[in-house]
Amino acid sequence: MTPRLFSCAVVLTLLASVGYAAPLQGVTTQETLRAPQAQKTPLSEIAPADPKSALDGKPKSRAARARLQIPLVGDPVAPDDFALRYYAAQKQSARVDAELARLHALYPNYEPPADLYEAPASNVIDEEPFWVLYAADRLDELKAAIAAKEREFPGWRPSADLASKMRRKELQLEIASLWKAEKIQDLVDYAKKEDLSQISDQVDVLWTIADAYARAKQNGDAVDMFKRIIATSKDPQIRVATIQKALASLRMADVETLLAAFPGASEGTNEFAQIAIDVARARIAAFLHDARPEEVSAADMQKFEAYARNSGDANQLGLVAWYDYKRRDFAGALEWFKLAIQSDGDAMIAHGLAHSLRALDRKREAEEVAYAWREPLSNNMILFLDLLETDLTREIPPYIEADRLARYARATMEAGSGEGAQALAWYAYNSCQWDVALYWFERGVAWLPKDATVYGYALTLQRLKKDQALYELANRYDGLFAEVIGMLFPDGGYHPPTPCDQKGNQKLHGAGLRTPGFPAPGPAMIPGAAPNYARQEIEASPRNASYPVGFLSGQEDARLQGIMRGLKGRFPSPVALENPLRFRPLPLPSLVAQRPPAMGLPPAADSPLRKEPAAQPAPLVARRVPGVGPMPYEKYGFNLLAGWNGQETASWPTYSQQIAPPGTQWAEQEADPAKAGIALFDARNPANARGLPPGGPPAATGYGQMRPLGYALPTRPPAPAYGQYPSPVSR
């Protein structure tokens, strides 16, 4: 034993034997021995001991000593045997015997514990400093203090209460720290390897662990944790709140597993009746996101519909509307969307309203709704441009009012839409307005150079006899757009003249609108044109998958020779592959001033377009492009260079003729019944037909207040007023 430890032991021994008697200075030994017999104080009346005041060295009265529970000779109070246990732990038998003699002198009835040489005493160390550190959440300092005390008094251990609460707080702080740092996987691993029984009553900590399991995609463990909370908690509000936590964290399929484990939870009865609406809302949302294959029960929907109608909340009303739309009950969806828009619904509610009108073939009304809400939500702008595009691109264009054409042109310029530009261009081209068609085809090729747009641009250049621009366009898109190349290699067949090939074709359209920013085509006035928004089904005609390549007949060979002589020096020829028609899709300043105040922010700073990096001169022979069909000149025996992936033959069917890959946005758009109308969709998908409104879809509507002189337009029913749908407000 070192001198330091020896001196500590001596001091402890002296304190144990003398410390309590120090306040009794001036009292003889006989008086001390007689004190217990002379003054019998029941143990129940003795106040708890205060070791600090008992050891402060100040004299105390007999009554004070009684209140301080000072152990006198003969008292039944258990003596302090820490020194005895300490010497026993050190295997110092001589000191053990001496300490036993001292204790027997003070406590004649004292018997040493049976585990004297096994477990040292632990009730004499003042733990108050430890509890102060515990209350301040300074666990690291607390552990260091306990370790120091254990080194000072070998064999000493903190009390069971302090140890258990330390472990409890350590779990709480570590879980909270990992959650705050968003170390979800570390939190999950920590929770799995630790014993969580110490925090079984800490519901907020268990919720955090369950949320961590859910975010780590370990849904089974999350469900088990939520089940554990509900099964062990006696507070009904905690059980209900746990279900709400699960609704916010888990997939609905996992929530259904949790609900099925507790009676009344799935049906929304008993204590869970207060969250029946929340459960129904979650089931509707899961159905809308394809996370739940089955429809919501009629009882749940009836409860939620009554709740939504009474609440007057546009979001709740809209949820019912989107649910009906998903089920293809478009008539019901329309009514719910109307209620939602009248309850201060937002632009997304208006988007659903427009789609419902479109699905019911009330496209004229859908156009007005989409246009009115185009600014708050770009989806409405896209829908507006898409609604009129079908009629604008008909081969024989219908009559469309001049103000609607001008409005469509303005929206196209604001959005920089390639689809809208090519639609206006085709409408102008098919109604013999070549200059207007050239203007919009140029912007269509600049913003979205797809095959139909480039082909229309080539036709317009041919009409305007801009041969040099036509040949440059053909060389630039050789190997990509077969129809453009086909204009240089005619098939020799008979093609009937179009209305624009006749004399007086300037009478086939009305006056267009010209502004400093853009021109808009005039209304087409072609006899026999179908009415605007009439339902038409246009099926793609089958194409031949191959060209007959072989020995050319004399007539074909002579025709080919004539074609090649006419193309000499023009095709093939090297041209810059950079698209020269590049326009910024920025709104014009004059259009910005016409926007609502909420959207009247200044446009971004204008800057010149960057030049594309210089490349090698383009080869005279085009390279094969995967996904593109054969070029017209291949039937004469000419070949293209291999594609970038080594492909040497034309693709068939081409990418444009293939079915959209499942799961893509393209596939979802094609599957949307509102894209073609409910009648056309059901005709193509009879197995999916359900939820038709009574009597089928309403008849198509069209509008034509302006009657051009000399032409009889088809009769159309009057349009319902747009006033039943509130206009958007600035937000």
The pLDDT of residue 19 is above 70: no
Whose tokens are 């026993």? That residue is: 88
User: Phi and psi of 242, rounded to 5°?
Assistant: -65, -40
Report all structural domains of the chain as residue ranges with CATH numbers, in order of start. Answer: 3-106 (no CATH), 159-311 (1.25.40)
pLDDT attached to residue 63: 41
pLDDT attached to residue 702: 31
pLDDT greater at residue 325 or residue 120: 325
pLDDT-derived band at 477 (thresholds 50, 70, 90) equals very high
| Structure tokens that stand for 58 in this block | 């100040």
The pLDDT of residue 263 is above 90: no
pLDDT attached to residue 39: 38
Q: How many CB atoms lie within 10 A of CB 706?
A: 14
pLDDT-derived band at 574 (thresholds 50, 70, 90) equals confident
The region of weakest confidence among 294-308, 410-424, 486-500, 678-692 is 678-692
Whose tokens are 């989806």? That residue is: 379
Non-local (6+) Cβ contacts of 282 within 8 A are 247, 252, 255
Round to whole Å and give the CA distance between 436 and 98. Answer: 118
Average the pLDDT over 648-677 and give the result: 76
* Contact status, residue 691 vs residue 354, Cβ threshold 8 Å: no
pLDDT greater at residue 264 or residue 248: 248
CA distances 692 to 294, 299, 327, 360, 614, Å, are 19, 22, 10, 10, 58
pLDDT attached to residue 562: 84
pLDDT attached to residue 600: 55
pLDDT-derived band at 102 (thresholds 50, 70, 90) equals confident
| Structure tokens that stand for 720 in this block | 């319902």
Tens digits of residue pLDDT in 502-523:
888 888 898 988 887 889 999 9
Round to whole Å and give the CA distance between 624 and 292. Answer: 45
Angle between the 236-249 and 252-260 helix axes, to the nearest 10 degrees? 150
Non-local (6+) Cβ contacts of 707 within 8 A are 713
* Contact status, residue 425 vs residue 401, Cβ threshold 8 Å: no
Q: What would the DSSP string read from start to end of 31-93?
A: HHHHHHHHS---GGGSPPP-HHHHTS-----HHHHHHTT---TT--SPP--HHHHHHHHTT-H
The pLDDT of residue 103 is above 70: yes
Tens digits of residue pLDDT in 321-380:
999 999 999 999 999 999 999 999 999 999 999 999 999 989 999 999 999 999 999 999
In DSSP terms, 509 is beta-bridged to 524
* Contact status, residue 171 vs residue 196, Cβ threshold 8 Å: yes
Round to whole Å and give the CA distance between 406 and 520. Answer: 5
| Tally of helices (H runs) and strands (E runs) in the chain | 32, 2
DSSP state of 262: S
Tens digits of residue pLDDT in 3-13:
444 444 433 44
CA distances 484 to 298, 442, 560, Å, are 57, 15, 18
Tens digits of residue pLDDT in 525-556:
888 888 887 654 333 333 333 444 444 567 77
Tens digits of residue pLDDT in 143-195:
888 888 888 887 778 877 788 888 888 888 888 889 999 999 999 998 888 88
Q: Which of 701, 717, 703 is nearest to 402 (CA)?
A: 703
pLDDT attached to residue 586: 54
Question: What share of the chain in percent tops pLDDT 70?
Answer: 72
Tens digits of residue pLDDT in 381-426:
999 999 999 899 999 999 999 999 999 999 999 899 999 999 999 9
